[in-house]
Amino acid sequence: MNPEALSAAILAVVTPIAAERRPDGELGLTASDIVLDRPRNRDHGDWATNIAMRLAKQLGTNPRELAQQIAGELAKVDGIASVDVAGPGFVNIRLEAAAAGALAKTIVDAGPAYGTNDSQAGVSVNVEFVSANPTGPLHIAHTRWAALGDSIVRLLLASGANAVREYYINDAGAQMERFAYSVLAAAKGEPTPEGGYPGQYIADLAARVLAAHPGLLALDDEQQLVVARDQAYEYQLAEIKASLDRFNVPFDVWFSERTLHDLGPDGQTSRIDQAVDRLRAQGHVFDEGGAVWVRTTDFTDDKDRVIRRSNGEYTYFAADAAYYLDKGDRGFQNKIYLLGADHHGYVNRLKAVAGAAGEDPEKNIQVLIGQMVSINGARLSKRAGNIIEMDDLLDWLGTDALRYSLERSPADSPLDLDPELLQKRTNDNPVFYVQYAHARTHNVARNAADSGVDRSEFAPELLTHDAEGALLGALQEFPRIVAFAAEVREPHRVARYLEELAGLYHRWYDNCRIIPRGDDPIESVHRTRLWLNDATGQVLRNGLELLGVSAPKRM
């Protein structure tokens, strides 16, 4: 009996009791109103609910008295072994071993689908993250959002949402011109121009541009700049994509900012022009001092924002607005932005864009601000000189250790990672601890096969050991953990769950044998425990997949 089935059973018991006590009207309860929790003390049963305390006042009765009535009826339900009332009105429920143990086969049969749910069904979400300027390599500040953004999308997809990963390529504006001048100066053997980009990577890009265009320096100045910019941009963007690929972070959409500035089919207006017109039609655009403004103070922004300067040039805010509207035009009702710690000022202005576009700033847009991450002993890039490159971190720590360590803490908490710990093959290293548990499930299965133990029989009523009850209880929780983590955009909840599950599995392994001792015969309980072993491996594998971390079969 899984939590959903138990909630339905409790609802079926509570409904007639409520109707009896309050014949003048229905409470309108649904199964989702039945909150179930795992008691910390296993002696208190498998599940506990506070439904009696929640309903007592509405029904004009004492919570404990109502709990006793509910308990008496629940005890008659098939699959429930016993029901007790504790404290002011908690209803503690213990399932029959067969009802609890049946979950092992359910998980094995479901395979990779176990944990998926429909809590986000019908929701379309665009998740934009990383979005670094294509003027240099990805660095340590990008790693956290790369890991978290990808895992948030994985959670949303597992919960039934239509979600995409999007990278906004900032390939327009002054930074691209500085990039072009820097590459061209390196190609000519000249010093980095003031305000330009230094580093060996610029020299490397210049060498590649010259190799691809041997006649570059024979072109006129304007052509030199265009060729240097566009070719170096192509090479640098390819490097960014390769780094993200190494980090197991695929993007569904690579959106170029340039396309917002390009003129449309009429040859007169760009998508930014059209965006300003649309915001004006909503009544939130006004003209003052020769400039065009958006009245963002209507939506809690601290000041109104200029969208077009008096000289006719658009601000960055104009591109942000056009980009937001474009996402809606592509069918994404919800937009999630993952921004760095220095981007707090963007929150209100992005919400203001949503409001000015006629959407709900509290519903249709969510801006997540992450804190910085530092890694003790990490060295500055030899190529870039002033940053710690993502590729160097991957070479040093590996994808799994880096991703898992970045995902196991809330995004808004600063991180200081210990590289020595992340490289240890001990239980002190969280990613090793979880991966080792998964590898152990495979090792147990291999040894069982060698000993003649298979899954030809399943007798869930035999899974009666306390360690088995605890392990099954944790396995039941996985779908709810996934759904909740997707709802609150917090992958760390999955990581912490996996660590708890790994601990319960190791304790079960120490107490419950799958392979008989010596010449003892193979019994039903051994075959049934193999199902539980394999179910645990499946859940560990599914959870690691949601974090973008591998699940090795051997370690």
Cβ proximity of 272 and 263 under 8 Å: no
For 78-95, write each residue's pLDDT tens digit: 999 999 999 999 999 998
Domains assigned to the chain: 3-95 (3.30.1360.70), 125-168+251-373 (3.40.50.620), 424-546 (1.10.730.10)
State the pLDDT at residue 279.
Answer: 92
For 99-144, write each residue's pLDDT tens digit: 889 999 999 999 999 999 999 999 999 999 999 999 999 998 899 9
Cβ proximity of 120 and 161 under 8 Å: yes
Beta strand pairing status for 36-37 and 162-169?
A: unpaired
State the pLDDT at residue 304.
Answer: 92
Report the alpha-carbon distance of residue 293 to residue 275 in Å, rounded. 13
pLDDT at 43 over 80: no
DSSP-derived letter for residue 359 is S
Please state whether the predicted TM-score (pTM) of the whole model is above 0.85.
yes
More confident of the two residues 482 and 28: 482
Report the alpha-carbon distance of residue 398 to residue 423 in Å, rounded. 9
Residue 290 is which amino acid?
A: G
Cβ proximity of 157 and 263 under 8 Å: no
Q: Beta-strand (E) ranges in 311-423?
A: 334-339, 365-369, 373-375, 415-417
Within 10 A of 294 (CB to CB), how many other CB atoms are there? Answer: 29
pLDDT at 41 over 80: no
State the pLDDT at residue 25.
Answer: 63
Q: Residue 187: in which H helix or E strand, if any?
A: helix 174-187
Point out which residues pair with 107 in neighbouring strands. none
Report the alpha-carbon distance of residue 181 to residue 197 in Å, rounded. 9
Cβ proximity of 90 and 50 under 8 Å: yes
Report the alpha-carbon distance of residue 205 to residue 208 in Å, rounded. 5
DSSP secondary structure string for all residues of 63-96: HHHHHHHHHHHHTTSTTEEEEEEETTTEEEEEE-
Among 263-277, 335-349, 525-539, name the one with the lowest average pLDDT: 335-349
Grade residue 29 by pLDDT with cuts at 50, 70 and 90. Answer: confident
Cβ proximity of 163 and 335 under 8 Å: no
Report the alpha-carbon distance of residue 232 to residue 187 in Å, rounded. 11
More confident of the two residues 323 and 33: 323
Q: Which two tokens stand for residue 368?
A: 């997540």
DSSP 3-state helix, strand, coil percentages of the chain (rounded to 5)?
Answer: 55, 15, 35
- Coil vs helix vs strand at 293: strand
Q: Which two tokens stand for residue 390?
A: 């993502």
Over residues 427-448, the mean pLDDT reads 97
- Coil vs helix vs strand at 48: strand
Grade residue 345 by pLDDT with cuts at 50, 70 and 90. Answer: confident
> What are the phi and psi torsion angles at 291 (to 5°)?
-105, 165
Q: How many helices (H) and strands (E) does the chain have?
A: 19, 14
> What are the phi and psi torsion angles at 78 (to 5°)?
-60, 135
Beta strand pairing status for 124-128 and 334-339?
A: parallel
Grade residue 372 by pLDDT with cuts at 50, 70 and 90. Answer: confident
